[in-house]
Amino acid sequence: MKKLICLLLVLCLCLSLAACSGQTSGGGATAAPQATANPMAETLVIGASADFTNEGKNLVYDMLLFRIDSYSASDYVVSSEHNADYTEFTLKVTPNVKFTDGTPVTAEIIKYTIESQLNIAPNGFAGLIEALEVKDDSTLVMKLSAPYMNTEYDLTYFFVVKPGEISEDGNFVEWVGTGPYVLTDHQPDVRAEFTRNEGYWNKAKMGKPKTVIWKVLPDETTRVMALEKKEVDILGLGSHAASQLSSATLNDIEKKGELKIMTRNGTSPATYMYNYVKGPMTDIELRKAVTYAIDRQNMVDVLTLGYGRPMGTFLGPEDKYSNRNGEEYTYDPELAKKILADAGYKDTNGNGIVEKNGDGKDIVLQFVTMSSDTYRNIGVLFGEYLKAVGIGMEVNSLERNAFLERTNSGDMDICMCHPWTTAIAYFNMRGSTSEYDNFGPGFGVNDKFPEYLQTVLTSTSEEEIQATFDKIWADIYAAYVATPLYASVSTYVHTDEVSGFIWTRGTQNLIDLSEVVINRK
């Protein structure tokens, strides 16, 4: 009897093991294992050409005020009120805003935020601050020595930071902010990982993806291949660091039709500065001839394959304080030749290059730019246009440090220049002086420009500011000190597994993931 019971127990155990292994009594297939959640279902992977520490900072840090558009701001981490003449601004801290380590935002922190970034955030009030007075835990008063209407707009450039977040040389070092994400892992220039801040104070702007991975892929071909293989979800977030793709690459992507392309027209054209301070380009007639020799439409057709628009103005007509008098540089090679001939530039040796007053020295201009395919190609086309009217040119395509050495010393005739952004901010940065900086001489073409700057910074009248810019543009155009070429089209390229991207705002390239949808296939 005991043996029988033992046999029955063994038989039951065998049947139990067979059932657990998924086998049927007839030797059928193994049952499917229980499904597990896809860890990437709520993860967005951004392909970038450089680290997040430049144009991805707002994943971690909020701005003091929120930029509505390119010229106005609204309340955000602080609310702002000003007196009638824009010399006093009262900043009130929004309740319940905390850093991700639990530290509450106070007026003292707002004071540190402003003081620590005066020299690194674009602003026109740094030299006007008389006092930053903490009235109580939630109130800070900024007093200026002169009116400045754009104070609130400029405060949209300031990231909210705790003491110790910014080093003496202006670098962000701690990465603990009040923003929508928390930095959880960072391998500089390789990869960064962020986790959603579940306690984020601004629920309307909370990021949808639970995890964001910023993957650095410096080579454009590698970035595109990663996107095609769905190793990354999107390229283009953040104008520079997250990759503006070349027009040839965009054209190839569009032909394949496998990826999604979002586009938006730009309004700030690529700009090239003439060295009107020293060298051959001190002759305004030569500067005129160069300007009229440039075929901007051909440049758009060749370089952007339609992803751009030719521009003969430094700002688009839709931009605030842009040129209202109708002046625009145009393409007229016959006029360029006439200007040269009338000014005494002639080709006396028959080599196709003019000389000044027959002195036997060919006019060969030094064109200095940075080393990328696009910049080099601009130089090649530039040279072809100038050669067609009898001007020689040598293209110097340099690495960044070598480029800066040349531009800061004035060792060039034409150089790549930072395009105009918003009128007041750019004019304040490099508009009132002709001294050399990273982009050659500034736009201060005469001794009126310091006075113009004072007016646009301190006036409380929109009409007066616009009237002053009318004078500024007229003087700049008449001096032929630089030339606009074309405005590129901003692009996002992403897979069909992600959607809901919002265009970055203004020159800060703020990344907004509050409407992103991930649908992995």
Reported as a single tens digit per residue, the pLDDT across 71-91 is: 788 999 999 999 999 999 999
C-alpha to C-alpha distance for 411 and 442, rounded to whole angstroms: 15
Q: At what angle are helices 220-228 and 247-256 packed, to 10 degrees?
A: 20
pTM, two decimals, is 0.78
In this prediction, residue 508 carries a pLDDT of 59
Please calculate the CA angle 267-477-475 and round it to the nearest 5 degrees. 120
In this prediction, residue 220 carries a pLDDT of 86
Reported as a single tens digit per residue, the pLDDT across 226-259 is: 999 999 999 988 655 444 677 778 888 888 999 9
Which of 50-59, 72-81, 176-185, 272-281 bottoms out in mean pLDDT, i.e. has the lowest?
50-59
Count of CB atoms within 10 A of residue 164's CB?
A: 11
Give the mean model confidence (pLDDT) for residues 379-385.
96
Reported as a single tens digit per residue, the pLDDT across 150-194 is: 899 999 999 999 999 999 888 899 999 999 999 999 999 999 999
Task: List, in order of start, the domains of the chain with CATH numbers.
Answer: 44-57+179-259+495-518 (3.40.190.10), 61-157 (3.40.190.10), 271-488 (3.10.105.10)
Q: Are 314 and 476 a contacting pair, CB within 8 Å?
A: yes
Give the mean model confidence (pLDDT) for residues 463-477.
96
Reported as a single tens digit per residue, the pLDDT across 405-432 is: 999 999 999 999 999 988 888 898 899 9
Tokens of 155: 């405060």
Tokens of 388: 């067609």
In this prediction, residue 12 carries a pLDDT of 42
In this prediction, residue 28 carries a pLDDT of 36
In this prediction, residue 30 carries a pLDDT of 41
Listed in sequence order, the residues at least 6 apart from 296 whose beta carbon sits closer than 8 Å to its beta carbon are 310, 311, 312, 331, 485, 486
Say whether pLDDT at 32 is over 50: no
Residue 144, φ and ψ in degrees, nearest 5: -110, 155
392-398, strands of its sheet edge to edge: 392-398, 364-370, 414-417, 271-274, 482-484
In this prediction, residue 435 carries a pLDDT of 96
SS3 call for 193: strand
Which of 13-27, 291-305, 393-407, 476-490 bottoms out in mean pLDDT, i.e. has the lowest?
13-27
Which residue type sits at 271? T
